[in-house]
Amino acid sequence: VGGKRHPSIPLPEDLFMPQRKNSQGLDLEDWRVLKRVTEGIDERADIGPEPEAVTDVAPLLDQAAAAFPHWSALPIEERAACLDRLADIYEERRGELMALAVHEANKTIPDALAEVREAIDFCRYYAAEARDKLVPQELPGPTGEANILRMEGRGVWCCISPWNFPLAIFTGQVAAALVTGNTVIAKPAPQTPRIAAAAVRLAHAAGIPADALILCPGGPETGAALTGDPRVAGVAFTGSTATAKAIARSLLDDENRPIVPLIAETGGVNTMIVDSTALPEQVVADVITSAFGSAGQRCSALRLLLVQEEVAERMIAMLSGAMDGLVVGDPSDPKTDVGPVIDDAAYEKLMGHRAAMEDRWLKTLEVPAEGRFVPPTLIRLDSMDDLNTEWFGPLLHVATWKSGKLEETVSRINAKGFGLTMGLHSRIARASELVEARAHVGNLYVNRSMIGAIVGSQPFGGEGLSGTGPKAGGPHYLPRFCAERVTSIDTTSAGGNATLLSLDDIGG
Ligand code: UN1
């Protein structure tokens, strides 16, 4: 790897075939799309006015509640078809959506493409899941009885999404809530309301009624007003652990309020364990991608690298060399690997931590003076136990672990209380089995990068302080949005029902 740049983002004119899929899972066809889109992106694109924050949420909730009976009664196929149409529309309008992701959320161009692709994947996956999983099911039971299980909408879901995946996670939450028969109030992060507004316009164009999906831009007060309202029948939230806990409390505040589900996906102190058998070049490439890709602004990102003592010095030297290849700068430039962080508050917080750790820097980079560029920095820790907070940016902490102490190392990582992603680089099968058996994390990545979970293949989400589950993009996600109802009918003559009812008879 040495001085070679990684991840390497080709200029449109030197398109090449990557050896393997990169962190975003981009393959040759994607690079072709990327080339076309890059040429189509207008740097001065008008991203439009910011949608106005909502101060009074009550009328929106009334509207969404009124729309529920009609939307929830539609056949599953009609709702699923809306998601498929939305996926098609996203594909057609990919260039504009990418421009919004670049200009509003500071996404690099490959990240912006991955963002739109993931949003499309969520639509298609949840549409397929709904067709497969939501149909009424006749369950086995004693003779003379029919037992029918139905999965139905619960009411108005409130979806609160983050700025770091302003289209993908926004769309994933909304699509899941809608296809299961709920109506939705969607509150995007205050940093990224425009791309959310575009998504909602396109969703309406795809056939989702305006009252069934309502955009509700605003900050934390708007979010609190929504989750505190008894008309809300469920909350899907991605963001900080502290906010998830505040939402959970607010859902339980009012004694007369029904108990409603919360699906929370939050942060992590994500760790990668590297042993002495790992392939150094691969480790370096995967660490760079996992820690500095998307400027470290993914909840899956690598925060703490744990290298086996014997190989630590060499690994750190190689990593430092590879960091020199990172291009930090304007995200709309296709050469850029690392863009600015999302806002001033994030910048100040990260720079504060970086400055506090100055005597521990192993490596840092020069970055453009103008703009919110946090220099990718490698920070040495005396002990792996010294990092227990998530720093949401391109700051990577490094510590060592001792040969023979793999199990203890995993326990110490578990003890931090988070449980989102973990990485392992080792060529020993037993090491992989041990970590798999002991690690309390939602997503374990072995001998690869630890970001860029693929919808349908790598359902994503954590446990402990990292969230409630179920995993987004996985087979258990949709049921959590549903009310599960069983009807049991006596079909004997004694029960007054001589014939077993067919599913059609009960409107299934
Ligand atoms: C997040 O950063 O909020 O696997 C979660 C990944 C992404 C993570 C999304 N799907 O990197």
The pairing of strands 145-153 and 213-215 is unpaired
Percent of the chain with pLDDT over 70: 88
* More reliable by pLDDT, 32 or 142: 142
pTM, two decimals, is 0.91
Pocket test for ligand 1, best of 125, 165, 303 (most atoms within 8 A of CB): 165
Sign of CA dihedral 470, 140, 492, 136: positive
Query: Does ligand 1 come within 6 angstroms of the Cβ of 162?
Result: yes
Q: How far apart are CA 148 and CA 504, in angstroms?
A: 12
| Measured distance CA(187)–CA(159) in Å, rounded | 6
Task: Find the 403 Cα to ligand 1 centroid distance in Å.
Answer: 31
Q: Which residues are catalytic?
A: 265, 299
Q: Kindly tell me if the per-residue pLDDT of 16 is higher than 60.
A: no
Q: In this structure, what are the phi and psi dihedrals at residue 465, rounded to the nearest 5 degrees? A: -70, -5
Q: Tokens at residue 383, please?
A: 């002990």
Answer whether 299 contacts ligand 1 (Cβ < 6 A). Answer: yes
For residue 300, the CA-to-ligand 1 centroid distance in Å is: 5
Does 22 score more than 60 pLDDT?
no
CA of 435 to the centre of ligand 1 (A): 22
pLDDT-based confidence at residue 253 (cuts at 50, 70, 90):
confident
Q: How far is CA 373 from CA 85, 330, 339, 400, 401, in A?
A: 38, 9, 7, 28, 32
Higher pLDDT, 175 or 494: 175
Determine if ligand 1 sits within 6 Å of the CB of residue 448.
no
Taking the CA atoms of residue 312, residue 315, residue 321 and residue 324 in that order, the dihedral angle to the nearest 10 degrees is -80
Contacts of 149 (CB under 8 A, 6+ apart): 136, 137, 138, 139, 484, 485, 486
Query: Does ligand 1 have an atom closer than 6 angstroms to the CB of 164?
Result: yes
C-alpha to C-alpha distance for 381 and 91, rounded to whole angstroms: 45
pLDDT band at 26 (very low <50, low <70, confident <90, very high): low
Task: Identify the bridge partners of residue 125 per DSSP, sorted by sequence position.
Answer: none
Judge if the beta carbon of residue 237 lies within 6 A of ligand 1. Answer: no
Buried b (16+ CB within 10 A) or exposed e, 418-428: bbbbbbbbbee
Contact indicator for 297, 392 with CB cutoff of 8 Å: yes
- The interface predicted TM-score (ipTM) is 0.93
How many angstroms separate the Cα of 455 from the Cα of each of 89, 129, 292, 431? 19, 12, 22, 27
Q: What is the mean pLDDT of the chain?
A: 91
Rounded to 5 degrees, what are φ and ψ at 186?
Answer: -110, 120
The pLDDT of residue 21 is above 60: no
| Contact between 419 and 269 (Cβ < 8 Å) | no
Burial (0-12, 13-18, 19+ Cβ within 10 Å), 446? middle
Is 301 a pocket residue for ligand 1 (Cβ < 6 Å)? no
pLDDT band at residue 14 under the 50/70/90 scheme: very low
How many A from CA of 486 to the centre of ligand 1? 35
Residue type for 285, please?
A: A
Ranges assigned E (strand) in 76-188: 137-139, 145-153, 156-160, 183-187
Q: Is the pLDDT of residue 213 over 90?
A: yes
Q: What is the pLDDT of residues 40-56, one digit of tens each?
A: 555 545 567 889 999 99
- Nearest residue by C-alpha to atom 7 in ligand 1: 452
Convert the pLDDT of each residue in 89-108 to its tens digit.
Answer: 999 998 889 989 998 999 99
Question: Which is more confidently placed, 508 or 350?
Answer: 350
For 346-368, write each residue's pLDDT tens digit.
Answer: 999 999 999 999 999 999 999 99
Residue 360 DSSP label: G
Q: Give the nearest ligand 1 atom to 297 CA.
A: 2
Give the model's confidence band at 4: pLDDT under 50 very low, under 70 low, under 90 confident, else very high.
very low
